[in-house]
Amino acid sequence: MHGSGIPIWFFIGVLLLIYGSLILGYGIFEAVIGPMAPVELNYLHTPIWWGGILAAIGVLYVVKFRPGRTSK
């Protein structure tokens, strides 16, 4: 966004990176020690791949829209 310094996409990237890292971290922890919550389809290890996707998108946005880079 022009004229506003940090683009909104950077904020979104930061949030997705934080959330993705937390969820991915929990997913790995859960995969090691076993499920901590009785949810369906536990065997799919959803926190690992969903957390990974969120973190990857977060990294992409943080790098692409970091402050100081030309804003879009």
Q: Which of 17, 33, 47, 65 binds other proteins (CB under 8 A)?
A: 47
**CA–CA gap between residue 42 and residue 21 (Å, rounded):** 19
Query: In angstroms, what CA-CA distances link 35 with 9, 26, 28, 49, 55?
Result: 34, 10, 10, 15, 22
Q: Which of 17, 32, 34, 35 binds other proteins (CB under 8 A)?
A: 35
For binding to other proteins (CB under 8 A), which residues are involved?
1-6, 8, 11-12, 14-16, 18-19, 22-23, 26-27, 30, 35-37, 39-42, 44, 46-47, 50-51, 54, 72
